Structure 1
Amino acid sequence: MKFRNITILTAALALLLIAFAGVQATNMFAEPTAVAVVDIQKVFDGLKERVSLDAEDKTSREALQQEAKLRQEEIQALQEELKMLEGQAGTDQKQDELQMKAIQYQAWGKFMQQKQASDAALNIEQLYRKMLKAIDLVATEGGYELVLYKETIDRMNTADIQQLRLQIFSRKVLYNSPTIDLTNQVIQRMNNQYDNAR
């Protein structure tokens, strides 16, 4: 009888341990995560705000080219004036003025080039930050917990085998169902926000 009670008690403890281990095992596996993708390049290409920024950048570059042309013409006029004054008194002063204008032109050109590059970088960064906010909103509304970067890949444009391998190995998403691609929703949201802000 004692042996039977010990056997039953042992069997009951074994069942409890198995049940406890089963509960622990089910707790070890996380709930499925809702995943989506966004093609960042396609978003940039589809934004009205980017088109507007590009137009502003083009206008700015054209104005700088006009300013550069005026400064060059001023330097050329001084050079011609110096040629006409050659051998006369006062050429040293004109020569100094010409050198000063040339130095100012070079410094101005470098400064404006750096400023234009800095402004363009700032615009891209601000646009990217807006994009991240829009992705957050679209993903949250759709119940997605993770959004991955999807590359645009129409054709890998390279004849260099190393470059081709680099492009292949740097891919982040190899396949996704179109149902989890939030790209067009992000573009639509950002374009609507841009239109409403204007």
Structure 2
Amino acid sequence: MGNVMRVNGPRVLMVDDEKKVADAYALRLDDVADVSVAYGGEEALAVVDDRPVPDVVLLDRHMPGLSGDEVLDRIRERDLRTRVVMVTAIDPGLGIVDMPFDDYLSKPVEREDLRAVIDQQCQVLAYELLGEYFRLESTRVVVDAELPADEIENDDRLAEIEARRAAIEERVLGLLPEAEELLTEFSGIDRGGY
């Protein structure tokens, strides 16, 4: 695997209760990602609840207090747009079949593999966000084409759609710069039909 990442400066949260381990993994990513570190489950949840949400969470399973498994469940309960990669020395076992993680790496993890998994997960996240972007953009374009301007201006729902669409567009382009062409092509479709 190479050192080249297609994603530009992803936001990564490294979670491990062993400070030396967490800091070592964070250091491996320092030149390619915006890395935050949490040394336990509660601290990790505080970070993911802050804005902006990390693109990828690298999560150890075995931690005192809140385990990585519990942190994973709480992240999923919050329905955050983040990818979670378990990075752990625990043998996975069949218990992982029902766990909602996005990838699983066994320690120790080489720098190239860590970077590759982050790049892959960020690309997957970008494509997931593209689906939501296309849905919101379609709604916005049809409303603009079909409804009177005064009706549009007085509807907070449409302002919320536009704000979400713009935020998703910015995040997608940050994760996957080549998506700009897809966004342009999608916006160029005539949805009015009249």
Sort the TM-score into its range (normalised by shorter chain).
under 0.3
Higher relative contact order (CA 8 A, sep 6+): 1
> TM-score if structure 2 supplies the norm length?
0.27
More strand by percentage: 2
> TM-score if structure 1 supplies the norm length?
0.27
More helix by percentage: 1
